[in-house]
Amino acid sequence: MFVVQTLWPIFFETVLPVFLIAFAGYLLAWRMSIDGRSLGRLLFYLATPALVFRSLYSMTLDPTALRQIALVATLVITLTGVAGWLVALDQQRQERVAVILTSAVSNNGNMGIPISLFAFGPAGMALASIYYVVASFMNNTAGVVVASSGQASLVKALRNTLAVPVLYTAVLGLVFNRLAWELPAPLYRSVDLLADAAIPGMLALLGINLRAAPRIQLQGVLWRSLLVRLVGGPLIAWQLCLLFGIGGIERNVLILQAAMPTAVISVVLATEFDAAPHVVTTAIFMTTLASMGTLSLVLWWLM
């Protein structure tokens, strides 16, 4: 009964809006021709960098909590990515890259932050935001290397990373934050508008890709990815918290964020670098639906 009572507000206030925006994108793609690749590029090169800059520019952090969350988030993303690579060894290169992305890239923004707020209050939301910033940086740097390796050599993939604007906006955001520099109001408002477009744009792109995706034949691989993302993620975070002696609300938020379904940003990466986006889109759909049950179990465990 407790699990049901916890799950319903999360679904109604957080999960349902996600599905509504994605469904709107699906309907739009059904009614007219939409170029998902162009929309993905707008998000990849404009909206997402603005979102990362704004998060780093405006946040207030405890240095110890920042180091711990950054370390655990980085290790969770890395280890789930390695697990995804291991479970997809029998697949073609592009499909293997897609499974790595869907295993490692979790939805720590538009699902992780609101659910952390609901479960642990404003302090939980603040900690979840730090995790999201670290995950965003990893996804848009290391994630680019992984995504582009589906069609490029490692050297070319590393070169692609240097062309990703989020790398530079993240550094700028940290510099402005630490030195207490204030961005001019007109420039900040422009950044703010672009950042606000990132999450709904990604969700609309999810719906567009769901409409365009062909029938998936790799059901076994998708189930493997689902298990890595929804089961392996929180278990890895739990073990890391034990290893580093992290407890309390920080531990709870780390485990909860590690349990999130595959993020929509993985569609942006897969679309930009042609890393089997149809596989990624289906994995997002499957993990998001399944997370309604797995997240309720994680919350029951933590609370």
Grade residue 295 by pLDDT with cuts at 50, 70 and 90.
confident
Environment class of residue 98 by beta-carbon count within 10 Å: exposed (0-12), middle (13-18) or buried (19+)? buried
Average pLDDT of span 130-134: 85
> Which pLDDT band holds residue 102 (cuts at 50, 70, 90)?
very high
Return the amino acid letter for 288. T
Q: Other C-beta atoms within 10 Å of 119: how many?
A: 21
Tokens matching residue 272: 């930009």
183 φ/ψ sector (left φ>0, alpha ψ -120 to 50, else beta): beta
Cα 281 to Cα 69, 95, 178: the distances in Å are 28, 12, 38
Q: Which positions ≥6 away from 149 have C-beta within 8 Å? A: 97, 157
Owner of token pair 């869907």: 102
User: What local confidence, expressed as pLDDT, does residue 156 receive?
Assistant: 62
- Which alpha helices (H) appear in 149-184, and where do they start and end? 154-162, 165-178
Structure tokens at 111: 């699902």
Domain extent listing, the chain: 2-302
pLDDT value, residue 5: 63
User: Can you give the pLDDT at residue 1?
Assistant: 54
Q: What is the tens place of the pLDDT at every residue in 42-92?
A: 988 899 889 888 887 887 767 788 889 999 999 999 999 999 999 988 888
More confident residue, 214 or 265: 265
CATH class of the 2-302 domain in this structure? mainly alpha
**pLDDT on residue 228:** 96
Stronger pLDDT, 17 or 187, i.e. the higher one: 187
Mean pLDDT is highest, among 102-111, 130-139, 208-217, 237-246, for 237-246
Task: Say yes or no to pLDDT of 157 above 70.
Answer: no
User: Mean pLDDT across the stretch 239-265?
Assistant: 93
Which whole number is the average pLDDT over 165-190? 88
Give the pLDDT of residue 99.
92
DSSP conformation letters of 286-297: HHHHHHHHHHHH
**pLDDT over 60 at 2, yes or no:** no
Q: Look over the chain and give the mean of its residue pLDDT values, rounded to a whole number.
A: 83
Which position has the higher pLDDT, 230 or 213?
A: 230
Mean pLDDT value of segment 275-292: 83
